[in-house]
Amino acid sequence: MSLFAPPIGFVADTRPLILASSSPRRRELLDRYGYAFTVVEPDPTAECGICSRETPPELVARLAYQKAANVIDKLDRGLVLGCDTVAECVGIVLGKPENREHAREMLRRLRGREHSVYSGLCLWDKESANRIVRVDVSKLWMDAIGDSDLEAYLDTDQWVGKAGAFGFQDGPDWIHLRAGSPTNVVGLPMELLADSLTRM
């Protein structure tokens, strides 16, 4: 079974969601799990504002909230899902790389080390004003790959738009999940989403 497939017997919540994200990986996960949803992308300003005093869980929780809040203001009704994901290694937050050199720097920092991936999730119902913000974490290990392997990976452009400059779902054999949800690493913790919808 795929790491990213729903568990046997899983039944998706039937309430339609409004995904406040431009991420194709989040759309793919919602599709795969059978959720009904539409996409309303948040404004770029909703994703700004890293505060040096924030911990990674605080950062992703705030950004998920900001994305959902930005989209909720555009709607008359609906259940909005906002999410944000970062990697963290030795206390340094790693978001999406700006360019190849930035991606190389991130991967060099990660290799031969354990790191964490955090996702903040915000569900917000427009009509009732009920909202919930939660955070999930997964632990990964990156092998100490050599520079030639690192450059070969950079050549694939699979690092583009991905927190920590790698796509776990792309299957690199030098990244290993040690604890937590694999879908969290992709950018949307599906177990946490299902539980949060039940709580809502």
> Which residues have a catalytic role annotated?
84
CA angle (94, 154, 106) in 5-degree steps: 20
* DSSP SS3 for 69: helix
Q: Is 195 helix (H, G, I), strand (E, B) or coil?
A: helix
Closest to 20 measured CA to CA, from 39, 1, 5: 39
Extended strands (E) in the chain: 17-20, 37-39, 79-89, 92-94, 113-125, 131-142, 175-179
Amino acid, single-letter form, for residue 31? D
Strands (E), 1-103: 17-20, 37-39, 79-89, 92-94
Strands (E), 4-130: 17-20, 37-39, 79-89, 92-94, 113-125
Q: What are phi and psi of 139, to 5 degrees?
A: -110, 135
Which residues have CB under 8 Å from 28's CB, separation 6+? Answer: none
